[in-house]
Structure 1
């Protein structure tokens, strides 16, 4: 496998090869097209309080504060000013799971900001289906029709996206894609021109990530099969290069421009991808990398990129295309830090801008748009809701079987909110906890803090299940590699035992579970409709509804004294160590 230095040198040399002066009488060289890309923005209009480590002048890593859509707009404008031919693309999750200043307005301000930036294409990610396919269509086409929970057009009449959502593997009941699969764009250099074909896909796991009620009749087809089926048609339509925008990704060791030990779900997709693809812009994992995939499969020399998350990075990928031969003759890419003016971290320390990364002033028009929505939401967002004795951390990425005090606190709040409906148990999915809950120095938390933890707009539901059905739910979570946070329920489990016998000593309210009895469970509507693959939860009998999950948590924290983190130990792993 080639090292990072060798890869960088190869890409630079390849780029230089396309710029040799043309002898007299010989046609000019290739045309450079800049594909400016980002992914997993998630409505982070304001700077997210994150930094990117970059090498300083002395070689040591320093933290550069990054993110914020006005800064992203400035960084992209700077890139476009230096690139006569460019296109702006996103690899999904531009919206969904967003902070309150975007999510409360159904992500309309994020779409409006992206219109100002000039985004051209977006491969819808799984979170863009969070509010259902009808709402995603509204984001594309505009209008104020109410498609679900939440009120559209609170500040402005919504005009819709000026960019195109490409999601070719979103298959409806007719067998056709619910959104376009491809687009072709032409780039001119005087009388000469080249064309690039774009394919957009979401992860096929979207089926389990979103509420089935929001995507009736929809299935998500295999990514590689769908992409491969489009390429011949794009070539026939004159595409000189093929770019895949895919909301699926991986992880690699090293910095944002490295690609050591690439792993993840993107690899088996790339290993089956048509070799005529030139560039793959990926996302979903929130990791940043630049890869020459030939280091992993010489037959597939794709350039693979990802720009991390929340607009902290932007990718400048350059395809050098020979209009005479209709081939890409060189390609290179670099992730650029979208540095902002700094922030104060949870530890009270300021992270200041660094000379080791470019500095950007916020773009005024985008900044003004953000300021309007921040001001509109401020009375609700800044409202104090209670106090904690200390921070509550969410589980680490991928640690779905880790019990956390934050998960238990949310489950406790949902049980308290539904006691009047007879609820005995509450269950909370760990992947529905978006971030940690960090109080200020005095222990106070605001409504915006709670909204950041649970930004999906879910409401609570109460259902009846038999003891047998409840056992099936607990068994299925082991198959899904997800342990639900529980209130009112304790149990142990042994994953080495045969399926159907892995749940040990379940107790409800301290009493052993009775298979013949009926139990009343509270949960968010995402879980109730089978979200995260919990098909067993759809078997319950509806009893009552409840408040939003955020309001339930706010009510639980509204007490005269600080709330302490709940103890863990409600679920105990008894699987023998190997």
Structure 2
């Protein structure tokens, strides 16, 4: 709330102490917002790197992540900033590694409280297990809302120490699932500054979550929602307004370039419509790292925009200097800090630590939590469930298909091909549903942990009847968004080609089943996950399919395919052709 200024006269005496005292009394207040997003339950280091620029200007790959190291990085950012707050822009849970997901992400919720998180804007993955289970994540307890048993390690589950915010997540009666905003005060008395935080997920969340898990829930426009709340926040005393939103941008440039070089994406039209009173936007969803002074894009919207990658590999320090008399932000800046953790090795070789960047030590309490849940999951994670002839990766190449995507599609077709299981002729796997590569161990052995990491959602397979024309419509929908082509991996026997130089809606140039072109008027049985069946990832045509048959879960189908006996061969590529003129 703006401070009441008292008018008084100061004598102009040499070295007057009264003037110095007056200046001290109205000194600006410094506030540090510590931002993160898309943690996705990565308690342990993900054995992945972040690209950054070193002091010489060279690009380097830095091993990073792990919640114990993230906690130390956050402590580092707090150390010289007594006025601080830790916030997140969603997807803290969901699509998580086994040590978290096997336990319904309870340890990740507890970990986020331990690192000092205060406010989180729910993202689409927070809804993966349904709204009732999400509410349990906030309030705690051991009520069972999924097939998995809650409170298997810590009982009772205490729930989140932080507040979830969901301004544009509306229930049928118009109320929000969680509070729309929160306030935090810094300083005291006449020098107190209040920061308001609005939390939102992306409006398109309903396209990313199975419909049955968000029954009765709708997601409103992000800019309209935030703008409607600005007067309420001002009336409640907010001097500074920060939006936490689970929507983001892409970045082909450096992670710390405030001029926004290389930053673009679907978040920009939202920023262009935001009330100018918004000072900072902490974003997520795209798993990209960036710092962007948006005035370089739109001078009428001098918003400081940030994002901190994913999996706890990056954390953002956002510094605000605020006039304590007027509540006006005098300056704002941000820097992404890479959470350099520990060296590792993978199939490509050794990945060492990088000099010139901070190396964080694991914080003992978070290391103990991660270890406790890792040990609890170990027996299940190490169970051998099948074989593979070699690595199955998500590498999409020039056409968009992947070996792992094709492998999963083949498994889903096999699980639903029998008349009693749906009579499927074709199966499609969406790339965003594959979350990790699979590297077999000794003698080609594949463990449950690696299979689960690749397919952590527990989706149910649905087989529907679609016409040839509808299948072509599905394939066209892969190519509608130039910022994010979602090329489906088809099962064996199905092939298609596309030409991106043609108009949207006319880009599929051929589609065949067992060498025969699809008949627009013929009917085909097609298997997809229940997520896709309900129109997920923008594939709305799947919703128009008829005569649905419910099959096994995607995980069950995959494990059955890998355990048929002998070494499971890897599928070849070539089911998808990019016919765009080069």
Report TM bin, short chain.
0.7 to 0.9
Gaps of 5+ in 1: 1-20
Match of 1:51 in 2: 49
CA contact (8 A) 1:459 1:547 kept: yes
State the 1:438 CA deviation: 3.1
Structure 2 CA distance for partners of 1:499 and 1:198, relative to 1, 3 Å: closer
TM-score, normalisation: structure 2: 0.87
Output aligned runs, 1:530-541, within 5 Å.
530-541=535-546
User: Hey, what's the Cα distance between the residues in 2 that align with 1:371 and 1:457?
Assistant: 25
CA contact (8 A) 2:480 2:505 kept: no
State the 1:98 CA deviation: 1.0
Match of 1:168 in 2: 167
State the 1:336 CA deviation: 1.3
User: Hey, what's the Cα distance between the residues in 1 that align with 2:353 and 2:478?
Assistant: 44
State the 1:305 CA deviation: 1.1
Structure 2 CA distance for partners of 1:519 and 1:244, relative to 1, 3 Å: same
**In the TM superposition, what whole-angstrom CA distance separates every residue of 1:138-181 from its partner, at most 9, and x where no partner exists?**
21222222323433222222222111111211123223332221
Match of 2:488 in 1: 484
Match of 2:333 in 1: 332
User: Hey, what's the Cα distance between the residues in 2 that align with 1:23 and 1:514?
Assistant: 85
Match of 1:115 in 2: 113
CA contact (8 A) 2:498 2:510 kept: no
User: Hey, what's the Cα distance between the residues in 2 that align with 1:469 and 1:411?
Assistant: 19
CA contact (8 A) 1:92 1:202 kept: yes
Match of 1:402 in 2: 400
**In the TM superposition, what whole-angstrom CA distance separates every residue of 1:439-458 from its partner, at most 9, and x where no partner exists?**
35864432222222211121
| 1:25 lines up with 2:16 in the alignment | no
State the 1:375 CA deviation: 0.9
User: Hey, what's the Cα distance between the residues in 2 that align with 1:331 and 1:403?
Assistant: 43
Structure 2 CA distance for partners of 1:502 and 1:491, relative to 1, 3 Å: farther
For residue 271 of structure 1, give the secondary structure of its aligned residue in structure 2. Answer: helix
Structure 2 CA distance for partners of 1:236 and 1:540, relative to 1, 3 Å: same
| Greater Cα offset, 142-151 or 273-282 | 142-151
| Greater Cα offset, 207-216 or 373-382 | 207-216
User: Hey, what's the Cα distance between the residues in 2 that align with 1:455 and 1:392?
Assistant: 16
For residue 64 of structure 1, give the secondary structure of its aligned residue in structure 2. Answer: strand
Structure 2 CA distance for partners of 1:429 and 1:158, relative to 1, 3 Å: same
| 1:392 lines up with 2:392 in the alignment | yes
User: Hey, what's the Cα distance between the residues in 1 that align with 2:430 and 2:295?
Assistant: 39
CA contact (8 A) 2:54 2:60 kept: yes
Output aligned runs, 1:5-20, within 5 Å.
none
CA contact (8 A) 1:289 1:305 kept: yes
| Greater Cα offset, 412-421 or 83-92 | 412-421
State the 1:527 CA deviation: 1.6
Match of 1:228 in 2: 227
CA contact (8 A) 2:406 2:490 kept: yes
User: Hey, what's the Cα distance between the residues in 1 that align with 2:443 and 2:498?
Assistant: 41
**In the TM superposition, what whole-angstrom CA distance separates every residue of 1:204-253 from its partner, at most 9, and x where no partner exists?**
12121111222223222221111111112111211111111111111334
Match of 2:348 in 1: 347
**In the TM superposition, what whole-angstrom CA distance separates every residue of 1:313-366 from its partner, at most 9, and x where no partner exists?**
1111111112211111122211112121221133231x2333412222211121
Match of 1:369 in 2: 369
State the 1:261 CA deviation: 3.1
Structure 2 CA distance for partners of 1:471 and 1:336, relative to 1, 3 Å: closer
Output aligned runs, 1:82-481, within 5 Å.
82-156=80-154, 157-189=156-188, 192-258=191-257, 259-349=260-350, 351-395=351-395, 402-420=400-418, 421=421, 422-440=423-441, 443-466=444-467, 469-479=470-480, 481=485
Structure 2 CA distance for partners of 1:340 and 1:28, relative to 1, 3 Å: same
CA contact (8 A) 2:497 2:511 kept: no
CA contact (8 A) 1:54 1:357 kept: no
Match of 2:532 in 1: 527
Match of 2:8 in 1: none
Output aligned runs, 1:56-67, within 5 Å.
56=54, 60-67=58-65
User: Hey, what's the Cα distance between the residues in 1 that align with 2:365 and 2:579?
Assistant: 57
State the 1:56 CA deviation: 4.9
**In the TM superposition, what whole-angstrom CA distance separates every residue of 1:81-126 from its partner, at most 9, and x where no partner exists?**
3221111100111111111111121111100111112210001111
Q: Which of 537, 548, 563 is residue 568 of structure 2 equivalent to?
A: 563
**In the TM superposition, what whole-angstrom CA distance separates every residue of 1:241-280 from its partner, at most 9, and x where no partner exists?**
1111111111334322113132111211111211111111
State the 1:198 CA deviation: 0.7
Aligned residues: 554
User: Hey, what's the Cα distance between the residues in 2 that align with 1:358 and 1:473?
Assistant: 47
For residue 415 of structure 1, give the secondary structure of its aligned residue in structure 2. Answer: helix
Match of 1:5 in 2: none
| Greater Cα offset, 464-473 or 218-227 | 464-473
| Greater Cα offset, 143-152 or 180-189 | 143-152
Structure 2 CA distance for partners of 1:22 and 1:375, relative to 1, 3 Å: farther
CA contact (8 A) 2:255 2:291 kept: yes
State the 1:506 CA deviation: 4.5
**In the TM superposition, what whole-angstrom CA distance separates every residue of 1:517-556 from its partner, at most 9, and x where no partner exists?**
5543322221222222333323444564333212322222
**In the TM superposition, what whole-angstrom CA distance separates every residue of 1:460-493 from its partner, at most 9, and x where no partner exists?**
2333445565455445445575442222552435
User: Hey, what's the Cα distance between the residues in 2 that align with 1:498 and 1:312?
Assistant: 39
Match of 1:545 in 2: 550
Structure 2 CA distance for partners of 1:226 and 1:22, relative to 1, 3 Å: farther
Structure 2 CA distance for partners of 1:22 and 1:48, relative to 1, 3 Å: farther
For residue 537 of structure 1, give the secondary structure of its aligned residue in structure 2. Answer: helix
